Structure 1
């Protein structure tokens, strides 16, 4: 009798603990279903639509996020550099390439909770496609660094990991027509002070 009670208690602990752990993982660490990855950048075209998976809806509700609809735009996230190392606020990075297919885009640095980093006084917290300097062939270079840089500079501050967020507005990327000729800039680590 005591053995059956003990076995039932163990099964209950495993079920409740395993369920809680799997729900936490799905909401906090799981990248979600339907992720679209291009190079180092990952986006979720179904976010903000009725086709969004339940885990993405739960994550958006927990974070208070308001994802754009598929006709409005799409956010892409870069968590690692071109060597697969996590992005660090103390390091300097070079974002170089062509503009993705969109009418307008923004780029900013955020913490791992996707809260935008405040770069401090007299520094721009974000860049957008209409303010950056471009080369003659249309390519651009953005330097992400805690130290002042010439040209297109995205300032960071503090220590710890960060995420680069590029939001594309009025873009065909989420539809089938956008998948044909999609290019995203590469993120390369230049130096690191930490």
Structure 2
């Protein structure tokens, strides 16, 4: 009798514990289905549409997110640099390359929960495609660093991991026509103070 009660108790602990852990993992860590990855950048073109998977809907509800429709804008996230290392707020990076296909784009840094980082006083929290300096061939380079940098500089503060978010507005990148040249700038670590 005591053995049956003990086995039932173990079964309940495994069921509730496993269910809770799997739900937590899916809502906080799982990227979901239908991800579009270009280099280090990842997006979910179906987020905010009726075709979004249930995990993405649960994550958006948990975070209070209001994703743009695929024809309005598309957010791409970079969690790692070009060597696969996690982005750190105390490190300096350069984002270099050509602009992705879009009419307008913004770039800003967030923490791992996708809350925008405060850049500190007298610093811009984000940069956009109409304010950056470009090279003669149209390419650009943005420095992401806690220390002031010449040229295009995206300031970061604090410690811990970060995510870079590039949102493209009025872009054909999310379409599945296959006619879009999908090139994104590379994220390269320059130095690290942390």
Same fold by TM (over 0.5)? yes
Name the structure 2 match of 1:192: 192
SS in structure 2 opposite 1:117? Answer: coil
Asked if structure 1 preserves the Cα contact closer than 8 Å seen for 2:48 and 2:67, the reply is: yes
* Aligned-partner Cα distance in 2 for 1:27–1:65: 13
Name the structure 2 match of 1:155: 155
Asked if structure 2 preserves the Cα contact closer than 8 Å seen for 1:146 and 1:155, the reply is: yes
Unmatched 5+ stretches in structure 2: none
The reply on whether 1:120 has 2:120 as its aligned counterpart is: yes
Name the structure 2 match of 1:139: 139
Name the structure 1 match of 2:64: 64
Q: CA RMSD in A?
A: 1.0
Change in 2 beyond 3 A, CA 1:161/1:34: same
Q: How many residues align?
A: 194
C-alpha displacement of 1:2: 2.5
* Aligned-partner Cα distance in 2 for 1:160–1:67: 25
SS in structure 1 opposite 2:105? Answer: strand
Name the structure 2 match of 1:170: 170
* Aligned-partner Cα distance in 2 for 1:177–1:88: 36
The within-5 A match list for 1:1-194 is 1-177=1-177, 180-194=180-194
Asked if structure 2 preserves the Cα contact closer than 8 Å seen for 1:108 and 1:116, the reply is: yes
* Aligned-partner Cα distance in 2 for 1:13–1:146: 46
Asked if structure 2 preserves the Cα contact closer than 8 Å seen for 1:171 and 1:178, the reply is: no
> What TM-score do you get using the length of structure 2 for normalisation?
0.97
SS in structure 1 opposite 2:19? Answer: helix
C-alpha displacement of 1:179: 6.1
* Aligned-partner Cα distance in 1 for 2:6–2:92: 56
1:56-87 deviations in Å (ceiling 9; x for gaps): 11111111111001110110000111111111
Change in 2 beyond 3 A, CA 1:153/1:178: farther
C-alpha displacement of 1:178: 5.8
